[in-house]
Amino acid sequence: MVCLVSRTGRHLQRYDNLGRRQVVGCIPYRYKCNSDGTVSNDLEVLVISSQKCQKMMFPKGGWELDESREEAALRESLEEAGVLGNVESELGKWDFISKRNGTYYEGYMFPLLVKEELAFWPEQHVRRRTWMNVKEARDVCQHWWMKEALDILVDRLTSPQQQKEQNISICSLI
């Protein structure tokens, strides 16, 4: 069962030893389906709108004391984008400053291979979600560190070993 309410408040929020708020996010991705039902090599990523404006980004939010980074990444993807899937190995860690209020953050990003896209999710009334190709997503994403994470994901997914593993896993689904 999926919870249709987002977590609120910061009483469980994690901070690093320098006082930076720790946030975790995902780059939800899938391979585009062809009209004949087969899976192509065309990568699509899911971007969402910000709650406060219509700028686009990947799902992310606070990492809380009662969860692992991977659990937080999956929770944020469910709450903000309404997708479920497999959280894969970390893309990296970034230190950045919020442009809006000058707060320092420590951010972690993970790939999320999407297995299910929900019709209803906690933030569906305050966010838009859109599947895009990598170039489009890179162009509209408002955060430099998320663009770097996207570049790392693309490099990882296009490496010869990863393509071989991906083809094996796709073929086993058919």
Query: How far apart, in whole angstroms, are the C-alpha atoms of residue 159 and residue 152?
Result: 11
User: pLDDT 10s digit of each residue in the chain, 174 long?
Assistant: 455 555 555 678 899 998 899 999 999 999 988 888 888 889 999 999 998 888 999 999 999 999 999 999 999 999 999 999 999 999 999 999 987 777 899 999 999 999 999 999 999 999 999 999 999 999 999 999 999 999 999 999 998 755 545 544 444 444
The pTM score is: 0.84
Q: What is the pLDDT of residue 159?
A: 81
Q: What is the pLDDT of residue 174?
A: 40
Residue 91 is assigned to a structural domain of this protein: yes
Q: What is the pLDDT of residue 166?
A: 53
Residue 6 is assigned to a structural domain of this protein: no
Q: What is the pLDDT of residue 113?
A: 98
Residue 64 is assigned to a structural domain of this protein: yes
| Domain range enclosing 108 | 21-173
Q: What is the pLDDT of residue 47?
A: 98
Q: What is the pLDDT of residue 23?
A: 96
Specify the number of domains making up the chain: 1
CATH number of the domain that residue 109 is part of: 3.90.79.10
* Cβ atoms < 10 Å from Cβ of 122: 19
Residue 62 is assigned to a structural domain of this protein: yes
